[in-house]
Chain A
Amino acid sequence: MNHVLNITATNTPAVVERLLQVTRYRGYELAGLELTPRNDARSLSITLTVSSDKPIHLLTSQLHKLYDIQQLELAGAELAVLSA
Chain B
Amino acid sequence: MKGAELVLQVLQQHGVDTIFGYPGGAIMPIYDALYQSEVKHYLCRHEQGGAFSAIGYARASGKVGVCMATSGPGATNLITSLADAMLDSVPVVAITGQVSQAVMGTDAFQEIDVLGLSLAVTKHSFMVRSVEELAATLHEAFAIAQSGRPGPVLVDIPKDVQLAEIDYQPENASTAKVAPVNTSLANAAKARALIAAAKKPMAYIGGGVHMAGAMPQLQQFLAANTMPSVTTLKAMGSVAKDNAHYLGMLGMHGTQAANLAVQQCDLLICLGARFDDRVTGNLQKFAPLAKVIHVDIDPAEINKVRFANVALLGDMKQILPAMTVGTNCADWLDQCAQLKQQYGWRYDHPGERIYAPLMLKQLSDRMPDNSVVCCDVGQHQMWVAQHMRFSSPRNHLSSGGLGTMGFGLPAAIGAKLARSQDTVITVSGDGSFMMNVQELATIKRFRLPVKIVIVDNQRLGMVKQWQQLFFNERYSETDLSDNPDFVALAAAFAIPGHCITRKDEVESALEAMFTWPGPYLLHVCIDDKDNVWPLVPPGAANQEMITELKA
Contact = CB atoms under 8 A, between A and B. Distances in A.
Interface in A46-84: 57-58, 61-62, 64-65, 67
B304 interface: yes
Contacts of A13: 115, 127
Interface string B292-314: 00000011101110000000000
Interface string B114-149: 011001100111010000000000000000100000
A64 B299 CA distance: 9
Contacts of A61: 299-300, 302, 304
B374 to A, nearest CB: 29
Contacts of A14: 115-116, 119, 125, 127
Chain A interface helix/strand/loop/mixed: helix
A17 B127 CA distance: 14
- The interface centre, meaning the residue of B115, B116, B119, B125 with most chain A CB atoms within 10 A of its CB, is B119
Contact of B116 (A17, A25, A64, A65): A17
B304 A67 contact: no
A61 to B, nearest CB: 4
A21 interface: yes
A58 B304 contact: yes
B402 to A, nearest CB: 15
Contacts of B125: 14
A64 B300 contact: yes
Contacts of B144: 67
Contacts of B119: 14, 17-18, 21
A13 B118 CA distance: 13
Contacts of B299: 61, 64
Contact of A25 (B120, B123, B124, B300): B120
A62 B300 contact: yes
Contacts of A67: 123-124, 144
Nearest to B147: A67
* Range for the number of chain B residues in contact with chain A: 10 to 19
Interface string B391-414: 000000000000000000000000
Contacts of A18: 119
A28 to B, nearest CB: 14
Nearest to B118: A14
Contacts of B120: 21, 25
Given A21-B120, A57-B303, A65 B115 contact: no
A78 B124 CA distance: 34
Nearest to B126: A12
A44 B115 CA distance: 20
A17 B116 CA distance: 8
Contact of A65 (B127, B300, B302): B300
B300 to A, nearest CB: 4
Nearest to A59: B300
Contacts of A57: 303
B85 to A, nearest CB: 16
A21 B116 CA distance: 10
A61 B124 CA distance: 16
B276 to A, nearest CB: 16
A64 to B, nearest CB: 7
Interface string A22-62: 00010000000000000000000000000000000110011
A14 B119 CA distance: 9
Nearest to B301: A61
A21 B299 CA distance: 19
A13 B299 CA distance: 26
Contacts of B302: 61
B304 A65 contact: no
A52 to B, nearest CB: 15
Nearest to A66: B124
B384 to A, nearest CB: 31
A17 B303 CA distance: 26
A17 to B, nearest CB: 6
8 contacts: A13-B127, A17-B119, A21-B119, A21-B120, A61-B300, A65-B298, A65-B300, A67-B123
Interface of B: 115-116, 119-120, 123-125, 127, 144, 298-300, 302-304
Given A13-B115, A65-B298, 5 more contacts: A17-B116, A18-B119, A57-B303, A58-B304, A64-B299
Which 7 pairs, one residue from A and one from B, show the smallest C-beta to C-beta distance?
Answer: A61-B300, A67-B124, A21-B119, A62-B300, A61-B299, A14-B115, A18-B119
